Chains A and B, each alone.
Chain A
């Protein structure tokens, strides 16, 4: 989401980079670019001023002028300051000494609270092994309770609801009592969306907080929010003294300046990022990694972690053995593809690779469905065909094309690429280096 910002910073600093020595003019030019980029990224006006002033001061200081590579030093300063701005080292949820740990979720309408509640419930269950219950306190929006009941069930959490007839403060208190008696580890309280200027509803939120004494209050913030993020964060901070932020809709292309602003103004860190439509698209927010991503340094840590979570080591060893013994079949290929697919959208994965910056990526249309189509072709084959593509004659290929909703050409291409792949592997296993064109599967 910070793509465009990173482009601008790269453009601004690329110039400095090529020169080696920094003049005051260089710094001013870079700062103007950074200022504009940050404003376009919806970073709050005041925050931008403060940020550029800080970077400027440090860039003009001794440490840069006398260092061997001033340009790199500036990149580092911007990166450090951005990381700082976005949350420093990051904070975790606090778990109470006695169960249940209460987490109160608050935010504007449409910021994604209900979905975030279910995702957080799932996250705590899967990652921390917690037994989670959800309290349905949004009695205002039509069908909000129904929604929580449904997504809560999908997340494997108990949902405590009393319809929409009762005061949300009472529902929250009742839910807490029930969580206690059912000995749940965590109770997540979903509240209705409210405007920060709505005094009655803000008072209600304060009351819910007072009655449930949450260990964590999380503010849910839409990553597309503009300058108003600061007003929202300040009001919610004053009323509910939230401890951290869940940043939602991060899978869009918003530059996410709101994230920077909220942290800068309230001092409260972003703890989680919600990154997709599915319940498992929810992760810890890593400010340092995100700052590196902004600067085009890539996010290798997240990539490695994703791969570790998805790929079974034994299966990987088995595949490697097969590759070496040239027993790698289309079936194995399919399995590999499915594992890559589980790691998330390809475009997202590519962004994490260092050296591939957003400008290069924008020209590339990474289509996840291409993988799905290949998958459809392979699953339309009989087991024998998958093990031995040599038997694929014209009539079989026509059948497969029909079965997979693709064309005979697509089937031909897959078979051809696969046989090329096998050839390359044979050479590698025989200790010869394949030619470059073979590696990229020249057609």
Chain B
């Protein structure tokens, strides 16, 4: 499972060689400002609000109350009633069979179960196809454009890949300008069209331009859309088909952004987006608030789609590879 950028991306051989061993870009997770620390700091803020000091006190005893509190914690994390029930049942039966010795054991085992539940499919991103086309999709306001900006910055500044961004959100006012700003920051090439023009055409032009200008990676932005709007989902399928026609095998990666504050509807989002285009991974954004993004666990369980990236802040380095163990720990740290 990918925990670092190097583990997340599968790079072409010549690119692999040109990157310094154990890249200087890999911050020590525990150093001040490291992402893990930042995440924990943010989570600490939420403790008072939630008032469920799970690990410290309640789980010391293996009684009904402990399991009830456990259920509550997972529900609060938006894991959902069904996934919560299946995990708690499993723990209860293990405890009943005498496999768990006490509170510490229970916590450890719970973490394992949660991390396992999050660990599905291939969570790496293959950058070997040339050019690699990454399609970014999602509901309005989940953070697509920001994610693309950060991803482009990382690919180009840290991995030395030449990146082209395609402004496929031709619907929302000023979306093109927003992506343009990110392209500039990331030092990426940029393909745009007038507002209201066909997003398929933008994607087509972008892939063509990437081949002509020999870019390594094309990241295609799309307009945010509610998964319930069938005509917009059809439009998305069309964008995908256009890309595939232009470059067989593409898009190589289709990333669905899910806002961590989203509740149970996140599962519906993933289901319907997956029906329209093949979703290969989830980007779980806005994890720097008090929301835990537990719905990603339900998505992994029900649909087998792995989380590949997480967004933990607004700064350019606040996009990180997803780590199931950290995620499991954070879910319980309330």
Which residues of A approach B to under 8 Å, CB–CB? 36, 39-42, 45, 108-112, 140-147, 149-151, 154, 195-197, 222, 224-229, 231-232, 234-235, 249, 251-255, 257-258, 277, 367, 369
Contacts and interface: CB of A to CB of B under 8 A. Distances in A.
A238 to B, nearest CB: 11
Interface string B194-238: 000000000000000000000000000000001111110000000
Contact of B264 (A42, A142, A195, A222): A42
B161 to A, nearest CB: 22
B303 interface: no
Among A109, A145, A150, A229, chain B packs the most CB atoms within 10 A around the CB of A109
B78 A228 contact: yes
B265 A143 contact: no
A225 B177 contact: no
Nearest to B267: A40
Given A143-B178, A147-B172, A226 B291 contact: yes
B228 A228 contact: no
Given A252-B227, A255-B264, A40 B80 contact: yes
Interface stretch (B57-65, B93-101, B106-114, B137-145): B137-145
B333 to A, nearest CB: 14
- Identify whether the interface residues of A are mostly helix, strand, loop, or mixed: loop
Nearest to B181: A142
Contact of B174 (A41, A144, A251, A254): A144
Query: Which has the most chain B C-beta neighbours within 10 Å: A140, A231, A251?
Result: A231
A232 B261 CA distance: 10
A171 B78 CA distance: 38
A146 B261 contact: no
Contact of A225 (B172, B263, B288): B263
Contact of B261 (A143, A144, A222): A222
A144 B142 CA distance: 15
B236 to A, nearest CB: 14
Interface residues of B, number: 53
B235 to A, nearest CB: 12
A303 to B, nearest CB: 20
Contact of B263 (A111, A149, A195, A254): A254
Nearest to B259: A110
Nearest to A365: B230
Given A197-B45, A226-B261, 5 more contacts: A39-B81, A108-B261, A224-B259, A226-B294, A249-B140
B44 to A, nearest CB: 10
Given A42-B264, A110-B142, A249-B140, A142 B286 contact: no
A42 B81 CA distance: 10
Contact of A222 (B141, B149, B177): B141
A146 B263 contact: no
A226 B78 contact: yes
Interface in B63-83: 72, 75-78, 80-81
B173 interface: yes
Contact of B231 (A144, A258, A369): A369
A225 B261 contact: yes
Contacts of A369: 231
Contact of B173 (A109, A151, A196, A255): A151
A227 B174 contact: no
B174 A197 contact: no
Contacts of A39: 75, 81
A36 B81 contact: yes
B265 A196 contact: no
A150 B174 contact: yes
